[in-house]
A and B are shown apart, each in its own frame.
Chain A
Amino acid sequence: MNTQSAPLLSARNLVKTFPVRRGGYAWRPKVEFRAVDDVSFDIEAGRTLGLVGESGSGKSTIGRAITLLVPPSSGSIRFEGEEITGLNATKQRSVRRRFQMVFQDPYASLNPRMRVGEFVAEPLVIHGLMPQRNERNEFVAELFTKVGLDPRFVDRFPHQFSGGQQQRICIARAISLKPSLIIADEPISALDVSIQAQVVNLLQDLQTELDLTYLFISHDLNMVRHICHGVAVLYRGRIVEIAPTTELFQNPLHPYTQVLLSAISVPDPIVERARQHILMDPTMDYGEPDSRLVEVSSGHWLAAARCETDGVTT
C-alpha cells in the first residue's frame, strides 16, 4: 500500500470557520462556526477521492478551500509538493492553472451573456495562452469534441443547451488549462438520472485520457462507489472515516458511515423491503468532539476518541 510518492494534493488540519450571530440578530455576539474542522487527507495522482456527507457537513467548503475560493482559516494545503495557502495574488494565479472546479448547477456556472465558446476559451485568455484567435478557436473546437459536443455550437448561448450539455461545457472549460486536479462539487446531482451516467462516464474517460485526478464531492453513494478509488466520510465538518472504496463499503466501522451506507436504496423492491435499515437518530451526535484518525487497517482510517487512541499509542 505505502508505495506512494508524494501525493498530488495533501490537506493537513484544514479549518474553515465562519463568524455567525445566533439567529442572525445584530446585537448578539459573533461566534465561530466551524464548517471544516481539522480535516486532513491526501489524493494521489490519477486517482479519485470521493467526499461524502450530509448537507451542511462541509463538503463544498472543503472543495472551495482547496481551490482557494474561500481562504482556509488555518491548516496547510500542499499541491504538487508546494504549499498553496497564503500565496500572493500573482503566485495564486499561476497555481490556479493547475486545478479547476466543476460546480453543481451547470446553468449557474455559465455566464448567460457569454457565448459558450468564448466562455470555454476564457481561462486561456486570462493566462495569455494561445494569443492567436484562430489557434484558440481550433483548440476550443477540439475541447468541444473531447467532451462530446458539436463544435458548431460555440457561438450559442448557455440557455440553448440542456443541463447535461451545459455540464459538458463546464467540463470543457475546466480542462482547457490542462489541469492536473479537478474538484467536482456535486457535478451530477443537478442532472437528470439518465444524464448522470453519461457525465460520469465522460469524467472517467477524461481521467484516463488526460491523466486527471479528481476530488469528487457527492452525496450519491452509488455514484461514489462507481467512480472513486477512495472515500472520505464527512460528518459535521470532520472526517470520521476514510478508506479505499471497496473496504469502506464492505467494512464500514464508524457508526455514521454505517447509517449513511444503510441509506443507499437498492433498485429492487423485494430486496429493499426486506432490508434492515439503520436509521439515523438526528438527536445523536455521531462524532467525537475530540477525536483523531487512527489507521485500523491498511489505508483505512477511523476517527476515534483521543482517550481510546492514547491507550493504543502508549
Chain B
Amino acid sequence: MKRFLHHLVASRAGLFGAICVVLFVAVSIGAPILAPKDPLKINLADRLASPTLSLSTVGNYPLGTDQIGRDILSRIISGSRVTLIVAATAVLLGGAMGISLGLVAGYFGGWIERIIMRLADLQLSIPLLLFALIVIAVLGPSLVNLVIVLALTGWTRFARITRGEVLSLREREFVLSAKGAGAGHLRILFRHILPNVLTAAIVVATLELARVVILESALSFLGLGVQPPNASWGRMLADGREYVATAWWLSTFPGVAIVLIVLGVNLLGDWMRDFFDPKLSGVR
C-alpha cells in the first residue's frame, strides 16, 4: 500500500487522475450534505441567474441557475451520484461479461467461440440508440435498465480484445508448461491468462467509462435514462443546449464535470496499467 502511494505520487498524471476520481467519488458520497441548496427546488424568480461569487445574499448561485431556477452547483453535486454509479456499474458489468466471454471464446475455441463472437457481431450490428430504445421500451425506463443497456452495448469491446489476447497467450510456452505440470483449465485461465489480459482490459475500461458517461447523457436527453426532475450530468448538459447562446453556464459546468471525470479516469487507468505491469514499474 505504501509502495502504491509512493508510486502514485511519483507519477504526476496518475496523481492528478487519482485526485479527480477520489474527489468526485467523495462528492457523490457526501452529496446530500455538500449540496448548498435543494437540487430539485424550483425558483422561477431566479431563473437563468448567472454565476456569482458574492457571499452576501441568500440567492447566491456560484454556478448560476437553470431555466427554472434550480441551483446548478447543487444539481452537479447530486447528479454526480447518478452519473458515477451508472457509469461504474455499467463498465464493471460490461467488463465482467466481456472479459469472461472473451476468455472462454479464446481459450476453448471451436463452436463456443463461434457462438460468442457471432453474438458480439450481432450486438455490434444493432444501432445503439435503437437497441436502447427497444430495451427501455420493453423494460421501462429506470436506472437499473439504463445500466443494463449500457453494459450490453459495452461488453463486445471487452470480449473482442480479450479473445485476441487469449489467442496469442494460449500458445505461449508458460501456458503449455502449466498444462504439462498438470494444471486444470480454471488455473490456467485465472492464474496465467487473465492477469496477462488485464492490461488491455484496463485500457478498454477507461475508454468505455468515457463512452458510457456520454451515452448516458444521450439516453437521458431522449428521456430514456435518468428521469426528470432528478439530475444527471448528461441530462443537464442536454437540457442546457437550447440556452447555450444566452446562458452558457447551463451546459458548460456539467460539461466540465464530465471532462474532468473522464480525464481523471483515463489518467488513472493509464497509470494503473503501468503500475500493474511488472516490466514497467521497475525493481520492486
Residues of A at the B interface (CB closer than 8 Å) are 64, 67, 69, 92-94, 96-97, 100-101, 103-105, 108-114, 119, 122-123, 126-127, 156-157, 159-160, 170, 173, 177
CB neighbours of B176 from chain A (8 A): 64, 69, 101, 103
Is B118 part of the binding interface, using a Cβ–Cβ cutoff of 8 Å? no
Stretch of B59-67, B190-198, B223-231 with 4 or more beta carbons under 8 angstroms from chain A: B190-198
**Does B181 touch A at the CB level, under 8 Å?**
yes
- By the criterion CB–CB under 8 Å, are B172 and A69 in contact? no
Chain B, Cβ-Cβ closest to A97: B182
Inter-chain CA distance A105–B171, complex, in Å, is: 12
Docked-complex contact B283 and A160, CB < 8 angstroms = yes
**Alpha-carbon separation in the docked complex, A127 to B181 (Å):** 9
Q: Is the CB of B279 within 8 A of A123?
A: no
Cross-chain contact of B181 among A92, A94, A108, A126 (Cβ < 8 A): A126
Interface residues in chain B, defined as those with a beta carbon under 8 Å from any beta carbon in chain A: 172-174, 176-184, 187, 191-192, 195-196, 278-279, 283
Flag if B182 contacts A103 (CB, 8 Å): no
Query: Which residues from chain B contact A103 at a C-beta distance below 8 Å?
Result: 173, 176-177
Q: How far is the CB of A187 from chain B (nearest CB, A)?
A: 11
Given contacts A109-B174, A112-B196, contact A69 B182 (CB under 8 A): no
Chain A residues lying within 8 Å of B278, measured Cβ to Cβ, are 112-113, 157, 159
Closest to B276 in A: A113
Q: Is the beta-carbon distance between A126 and B183 smaller than 8 angstroms?
A: yes
Closest to B280 in A: A159
Q: Are B181 and A111 in contact (CB under 8 A)?
A: no
Q: Which residues of A contact B173 (CB under 8 A)?
A: 103-105, 108-109
CB neighbours of B195 from chain A (8 A)? 111, 113-114
Q: Please measure, in the bound complex, the distance between the C-alpha atom of A119 and the C-alpha atom of B181, giving whole angstroms.
A: 11
Known: A96-B181, A122-B183, A156-B283. 5 other contacts (CB 8 A): A64-B176, A67-B180, A69-B179, A103-B177, A110-B174
Q: Top 6 closest A-B pairs, CB basis?
A: A157-B278, A113-B195, A123-B181, A109-B173, A103-B173, A93-B182
A105-B173, A159-B279 known; A111+B196 contact, CB < 8 A:
yes
In the bound complex, CA of A104 to CA of B183 (Å): 20
A108 and B170 CA atoms in complex are apart in Å by 11
Q: Are A126 and B187 in contact (CB under 8 A)?
A: yes
Min C-beta distance of B235 to chain A, whole Å: 41
How many angstroms from the CA of A108 to the CA of B192 in the assembled complex? Answer: 12
Complex: chain A residue closest to B192, CB-CB = A111
Check B187–A109 contact: CB distance below 8 A: no
Complex Cα gap A94–B184 (Å): 12
Q: Which residues of the other chain, B, contact A173 by a CB distance below 8 angstroms?
A: 177, 181
- Cα–Cα distance between A177 and B180 once the two chains are bound (Å): 11
Q: Which residue of A lies closest to B176 (CB)?
A: A69
Q: Beyond A112-B278, A126-B183, is A170–B283 a contact (Cβ under 8 Å)?
A: no
CA separation between A109 and B180, bound complex, in Å?
A: 12
Smallest CB separation, B194 vs chain A (Å): 9
Least CB separation from A156: chain B residue: B283
CA distance A206 to B270 in the complex (A): 45
Tell me whether A100 and B279 are in contact (CB under 8 A): no
Residues of chain B within 8 A of A112, CB atoms compared: 196, 278-279
> Considering only CB atoms, which chain B residue lies closest to A108 in the complex?
B173
**In the bound complex, CA of A170 to CA of B178 (Å):** 11
Contacts A113-B195, A114-B191, A157-B278 given; indicate if A100 touches B181 (C-beta within 8 A): yes
Which of B177, B182, B191, B195 has the most chain A CB atoms closer than 10 A to its own CB? B177
